[in-house]
Amino acid sequence: MLNEKNEFDIQVKDNFLNKKDFEKVINYMKTIQWNAKDLHYEQDTPEHHWFNKDCPKEISDIILKEVIKFFKVKILKESLCQYTFVSKSEKNQIHNDAGDRLNFQIILYLEGDQNIHCGTGFYSKKQDNSFELNTHIGFKPNRVVSWVSNVYHAPLNFTDDFKSRKSIIAQYLVKEIRC
């Protein structure tokens, strides 16, 4: 997360879900048929694109329950909870998700290559508006990574070693952020 001093406080937890819940999440993911209509991209940053499908209520409730329990936050609103599929890209897709509807987010890695280059990079914005990689978290199934929405981040899908990955992303408006 990013506190008032613009210092990173990214949190990582392996084995986030218990085995039964993780299997439910994975089993539902295996039923998803990814197609062109599921391609999402930001109009402001067209290089930031991915495939997504909303999680059914049963899955989003599992994620929500564990987020509240582990991070000890009071959720005011769930902005989104989606399965995502990210494939290789030629360009880095650095962005942040800052906005009025959210201030806290997570990614839960589900399926992919357990490789440092298949995870997520977190960036510092320099005075010349360029970005510098500050921290990167490798991919591991059932690993959750959290941060506040104004932190610049990107999948590491531009690296030579990147393999496609499937994850869940969830974004929340929370009352208090533990920093």
Cβ 41 vs Cβ 95: under 8 Å: no
Is 161 part of any domain?
A: yes
Query: What is the domain extent for residue 28?
Result: 13-34+47-171
Q: Residue 128: inside a domain, yes or no?
A: yes
What is the per-residue pLDDT for 31?
Answer: 94
Q: Is residue 166 part of a domain?
A: yes
Q: Taking the model in full, what pTM does it have? A: 0.86
pLDDT for 92 equals: 75
Total domains in the chain come to 1
The verdict on residue 39 lying in a domain is no
Closest CA to 62 of 99, 91, 89, 27: 27
Residue 2 domain-assigned (yes or no):
no
Residue 176 lies inside a defined structural domain of this protein: no
Q: What's the confidence (pLDDT) of residue 9?
A: 72
Contact 96, 151 (CB under 8 A): yes
Predicted pLDDT of residue 94: 83
Identify how many contiguous H helices and E strands the chain contains and give both numbers. 2, 10
In a domain, 3, yes or no: no
Tell me the CATH number at 88. 2.60.120.620
State the Rg of the chain over Cα: 15
Per-residue pLDDT of the chain (179 residues; tens, 9 = 90+): 434 444 577 899 999 999 999 999 999 999 998 876 545 444 454 444 457 889 999 999 999 999 999 999 999 999 999 999 886 666 777 888 888 888 999 999 999 888 777 889 899 988 998 999 999 999 999 999 999 888 998 887 676 676 778 999 999 999 865 54
Angle between helices 57-71 and 19-29 (to 10 degrees): 140
